[in-house]
Structure 1
């Protein structure tokens, strides 16, 4: 049985370049749980101001989006933060998050705004626990590509196991939603994407970044409770209503932790259904 989400938040987060306003509505209609309009990596330096203006002109109350702003040490940061005060912004993704001070400053300027710090450097990982406990932080996000570059790591599998597990642990200790895994750059390799998403879920992640709409269905399916999990959970919960203490079900022992796990599966499913 794969690991459960800490909370039934978005499974799939789809990036769309802030310099491509014609794609904003398409992204919102793509089936993504959350859309991230990217003002950082996807936008060339000369296009930053124009992209910000395009986002401001487009923002929709009926389909609120997350905005990935530019890093705090760039000349675009302050204007990006001002943009995020407009209606229609549902969250702010901070790249290269490396200190709680920046998150505290963001929270002061954008009260109640959910914050999603991107952990994509050795320094950021070293303070992941502090980032997770900062006010308004909804969940941590793993910027795995930049992280590999910063640490000189060649590989996305076992090479990053320690760091992925560290983000899951930091999130759990802070009592926030399970973290979001990084992108799979092989957009034409659905088998690779499925393997990456299912590995992330087994490790305790609650969602995954996507860079193409054709990745969404695979990611959503990988993180959602399967039909077999739902059947198992219903059987366990039903049996627990008539049994007392530990009992056997289908040849396996069921005790309180197993019952709690089954209840969590049903809650996650119910939260998604009602969302």
Structure 2
């Protein structure tokens, strides 16, 4: 199989719905995950591997990226493991981007960027300190999106995983991303392997303004992709709005029409993007 198996570019990453985290245990496992239909494959060198297996994991991902494309989740930048991760993937021709675990400051992003010039970064926000620093982190080049590490965040602040408990952090990430002009955030994973629960969680994230979702399960990938893509009814609504108001809003008659028109264009843009991806597969 060629380096074209996973076609997601850095531009695609801005709109990617499913982000499948797969541990770097062996090339067969990673290759199987790449065939899941995920928008972004993320090979995990952090929580997906015990400390004793990390060196083997780094060798595995370096070899895999020689012929395939994907993202890599790095260890915490305050650890020695992070430096070893960088050394193992530097110059990998299939590296599309990195997900930086436990990001808490712009300096950690900049240090990663120095080691991996030109490589996009998704910053994992996993603590109270990270949420407070989200505005600065989102504005730091080369961050393209923020992602929400729900488990570590809940442990850090002593909160549960209910929508109310997580609403503040999710909203902070959404607003920080929008203000910085980067892609909308990626929500954390659903740990319950139930399609309806996964879909409900994905729709909740979408309602909050998040347009991506992490997953640890192949079975969740199509559920997430479906939930986070515009539905047929939304596309019909968007086409109707644009037809009525004009693509440039020339037939708008009151202030409420402009936000509707902007949303309609966004729906059609996202729909066209995902339809194009399906055609490529």
**Does the alignment reach a TM-score above 0.5?**
yes
Residue 156 of structure 2 is matched in structure 1 by 150
Residue 256 of structure 1 is matched in structure 2 by 258
Q: Which runs of 5+ in 1 are unaligned?
A: 1-6
Q: Equivalent residue of 1:87, what SS? A: coil
Q: Return the alpha-carbon distance in structure 2 between the equivalents of residues 88 and 246 of structure 1.
A: 47
| TM-score normalised over the length of structure 2 | 0.89
Corresponding position: 1:74 with 2:74: no
Q: Deviations over 1:182-207 (max 9, x none)?
A: 010001x2111111000000100010
Deviation at 1:106, TM superposition (A): 1.1
Deviation at 1:8, TM superposition (A): 5.9
| TM-score normalised over the length of structure 1 | 0.91
Residue 99 of structure 2 is matched in structure 1 by 93
Deviation at 1:156, TM superposition (A): 3.0
Q: Equivalent residue of 1:76, what SS? A: helix
Match of 1:84 among 68, 86, 89: 89
Residue 187 of structure 2 is matched in structure 1 by 181
Q: CA RMSD in A?
A: 1.8
Deviation at 1:58, TM superposition (A): 1.5
Structure number with greater CO (CA < 8 Å, separation at least 6) is 1
Q: Equivalent residue of 1:213, what SS? A: coil
Q: Return the alpha-carbon distance in structure 1 between the equivalents of residues 54 and 14 of structure 2.
A: 34
Deviation at 1:245, TM superposition (A): 3.7
Corresponding position: 1:227 with 2:232: yes
Deviation at 1:110, TM superposition (A): 1.4
Alignment length (residue pairs): 263
Match of 1:194 among 173, 196, 199: 199
Corresponding position: 1:269 with 2:275: no
Corresponding position: 1:49 with 2:49: no
Deviation at 1:254, TM superposition (A): 6.3
Corresponding position: 1:211 with 2:216: yes
